[in-house]
Amino acid sequence: MALNPQLADWRGRRVWLVGASSGIGRATASALHGRGAAVFVSARNTCELEAFAAAHPGSVALGLDVADPDAVGLAAATVLQGGELDLVLFCAGYYRELRATAFDLAEIKRHQQVNYVGALHLLDAMLPALLRQGHGHLSLVASVAGYRGLPRSLAYGPTKAALINLAETLYLDLHERGIGVSVISPGFVATPLTASNPFPMPALITPDEAARAILRGWAAGRFEIHFPRRFTLAMKLLALLPFGAYQAVVRRITGL
């Protein structure tokens, strides 16, 4: 069942991807460019953004830090000068392994500022324009780490859980106004964020595979886009367990 307008033909559509200098964001931006979209890419790493723009003629690079609301607002104003937007994708992310036995408040706040507050800055900059135009699509990249608490994810997991809740609430508020909303929950994807993981990552996929899954989800009008399904469906089943059973299974799997 399609919960959103189906986005399959990207020719001439204007899209803005925030957090697109590497990984899932960059691969998705490249895929959209290849399908004829007018692509705007943003991130902190301006060198990588400029390299993307050079490799994808016609795309526009706008450097910003999502933790800086003024920078996000300025970039949004620049993008909107050229016309209405058909897609806004928030895929900025920050990850460091953290456990409660090594609690680090500064590290936790950094995760919040990038992963969650950064999304709020983007919404603050873009929602008025989307509401005025009465169409468009908002998509937030969360994670299966947001389904339930996981070891080593004290700082990261709660921000992704917040994004999932945020997307659900946005959908309830915006669907009747003609604006699509989706949340993307990847499993393990080979990106700079996951490169530091000291443990085997089951069902690991490439950013290009992730981008193809995302585009399939948008084309089908899905609200939640999760992949690879052989892994994410297992995580969904785990999340349904009572907490006592859930934590026992997680401890057995992770050895923690």
Residues noted as catalytic: 156
Letter for the amino acid at 137? H
Whole-angstrom distance, CA of residue 144 vs CA of residue 227: 9
Return the exposure string of 175-201: e unless at least 16 CB atoms fall within 10 Å of the residue's CB, then b. Answer: eeeebbbbbbbbbbbbbebeeeeeeee
Alpha carbons 138 and 175: distance in angstroms, whole number: 11
Query: CA separation (Å) from 187 to 19, 191, 232, 242?
Result: 18, 12, 6, 22
Residue whose token pair is 């401890």: 251
